Structures are given as structure tokens and as C-alpha cells.
Amino acid sequence: MKQVIATAPKELTIVDVPKPELAAGEILVQTLVAGVCGSDLHAIQGLHPFVPLPYKPGHEVVGIIREIAPDVDGFSIGDRITVEPDLPCWDCKNCKNGNENLCERLQFFGCGYPQSGMSEFWTLSARRAHKVPDSFTDEAASLIEPLSTPIHAMKLASLGSKDLSGKTVVILGCGTIGLLTLVAAKYFNAKTIVMTDLLPNKRERALRLGADAVLDAGLAGVVDDVRALLGDSADVVFDCVALQPTVNQAIALADKGGTVVIVGVPEKDVSVPLPIIQDHQIRIQGSATYLPSDFKDAITLLGSGALDVKEFVTAVFPWEQTQEAFESALLGDQVKVLIRFS
């Protein structure tokens, strides 16, 4: 079968490898589509803090079950599924507490793991598969995993209430995760949502998708301008960029008493004004992937029609053009690039 490997910075190779063998508890899946994630773009450039090159990409994946181990219940051959790609040990403190995204021995399908979704076939624990409703297109189904990330962040921001009613929200970054965060924040009833980005075309898309206002992240007075639009400090700032300038802005916007949620994957350390964070009681909240309940909420949100799939899946390439697909995604003018395998 064909398998995509990121071998050197910005270089993808397609190799022939044996089809994987089914183990106990597993399903064997044939890929329909796999999405190119922001974390893949970091990793293929050698910029991901935890995924060194070479690696086998593909964790946003939709496929058809072709084989099922005898001990697996709840799935049938031919079911269309998507994958919750974190692979926990199920045995550590966090796994036992239902926080398997924070597993002490976490592996991640498609991120430094021997198998990956940008392959014709792969095997995976059936515990990590989620059935896709028949009414969903493959394109819509490919958004379940990326949408689960901001849904998890919403729950952390709202301390589990899933309700942002009356809250002012700022989202830094109008890329894929920023826009999905916008959709999720609207779904959870945020009162006002202001977004920033350096690029005008990304800001325009955010406005089209329902942001109340958008501002140029590069303007010197952007923090004051956002605060003026909100009429106050921000209750929650979602930093979907996570570089020093956006972290500075996020903390200034949340000052006083607000919450900063780090949603984007930071490339490196930043410094923070710790005296301000302490004295002004600012909460800095990391948000790491998702849990099964977030996948269920993502499926419900997508099923409600609250997300316009065409605004998100902006390009689909056949697997033979994987290199072109990644190059297109790297240019930054696509929202979600998919690669179709079958």
C-alpha cells in the first residue's frame, strides 16, 4: 500500500509498504480523506516542538472499516469512521480520571507514531473510532477532529459549563483553528466576538463567518482598539497563534480577571508578565486536544448546520499530489486542505 512520509523539511515521499496486520481490539481502515493540520505544517518544516522529522503524517482522517478483530463490538465492516488520534495507555492517573488527553504515556496517531492516516490502510484501537453520521459528506466528517479542539477549549474557558452567554471573547488568529474557534464560540452563545489577524483575506473570512469585528493584529494600538470595541477587558481570549506578540496581546486584553486559553501550538517558549498575572488574577489555561465528549459535541454542532463546510474545506487533492497539497496549505490562503485516498 501507499504511505506518505515527511522525510526532510517541506519534502514528502510516497513509499510502498506492507498493509498493516490487525491486532486484538483493532479495526483495519481504508482512508477516504485525510486533512492537513496546522501541526502537520509545523512538523514538515521541522518546527513542531514534539514531532521530529522524519514522520508519517495524517491524524484528521475519515475512512471505511474493512476488517474488525473478533473481540471488537459496536462496529461493522463498511462503517465510515473518523479517529480520535490520541492513543492513551488507559492505565495512568489521568487516563483513570477520564482525562486521557493528558495521558502520561500518550502516543499520537499520525504524529510520531508508526501508523498514520495519510496511508491507504491503517489499524487502530476501536476505542479511538467514532462513527460518522450518514448525512455527513466526507468533507464535513474531516472537520470533526479539528473542531473538537476548540470545543475542548470552550469547555476549559467556561469551566465545564459549555456556556459563554454574556461573555466577551477575543480570538487571536483567523486561520483554521481560529475560525473553528469562532464557530464554537458562537455555538456556545458568546456575547461578542472580536478577532485579529495580520492578513486581510483571513480577516474577511472571519467576518463572513460571523465575527462581530475584525482588526489588523499588526496595528500598534490593536489592544486598545479591541478593548474599545468590547467596551471593557475580554472575559476570554483564545490565542490560536501562540507567539510572543499574541501572548502579550492576550494578557493585555484579559487584564483584569480574564482568561487566556492557549489553543495554537507554540513553536517555542515565550515570556509573560508574571506580576500582572498574579496581581490582576489572570488565568492562563493550556488546552490540549480533546476527549470523546468533545467529538460527540463536534458531531452535534456539524449536524446542526452551524458550520458552513464549504468555507472550511477549500481544496481537495488526490493522494498522488500530496506534495502539492502541503505546498498549497503552506501558502496560507487555504483554510483546510484535504488529501483524497479513495
Contacting residues toward Zn ion, per CB under 5 A:
37, 88-89, 92, 95, 103
If the CB atoms of residues 226 and 326 are measured against Zn ion, the closer one turns out to be 326
Tell which phi-psi region holds residue 98, choosing left (phi > 0), alpha (psi between -120 and 50) or beta.
left
If the CB atoms of residues 102 and 198 are measured against Zn ion, the closer one turns out to be 102
Closest separation in Å from C-beta 93 to Zn ion: 8
Closest separation in Å from C-beta 216 to Zn ion: 27
Closest separation in Å from C-beta 256 to Zn ion: 33
**How many CB atoms neighbour CB 302 within 10 A?**
21
If the CB atoms of residues 97 and 135 are measured against Zn ion, the closer one turns out to be 97
CA dist 112 → 88, 152, 238 (Å): 14, 23, 27
If the CB atoms of residues 92 and 272 are measured against Zn ion, the closer one turns out to be 92
Please state, in angstroms and rounded to a whole number, the distance separating the CA atoms of residues 281 and 295: 32
Closest separation in Å from C-beta 30 to Zn ion: 21
Closest separation in Å from C-beta 40 to Zn ion: 7
If the CB atoms of residues 254 and 261 are measured against Zn ion, the closer one turns out to be 261
Closest separation in Å from C-beta 59 to Zn ion: 6
Q: Of 231, 263, 234, 264, whose CA–CA distance to 249 is shortest?
A: 234
Please state, in angstroms and rounded to a whole number, the distance separating the CA atoms of residues 336 and 59: 13
If the CB atoms of residues 143 and 174 are measured against Zn ion, the closer one turns out to be 143
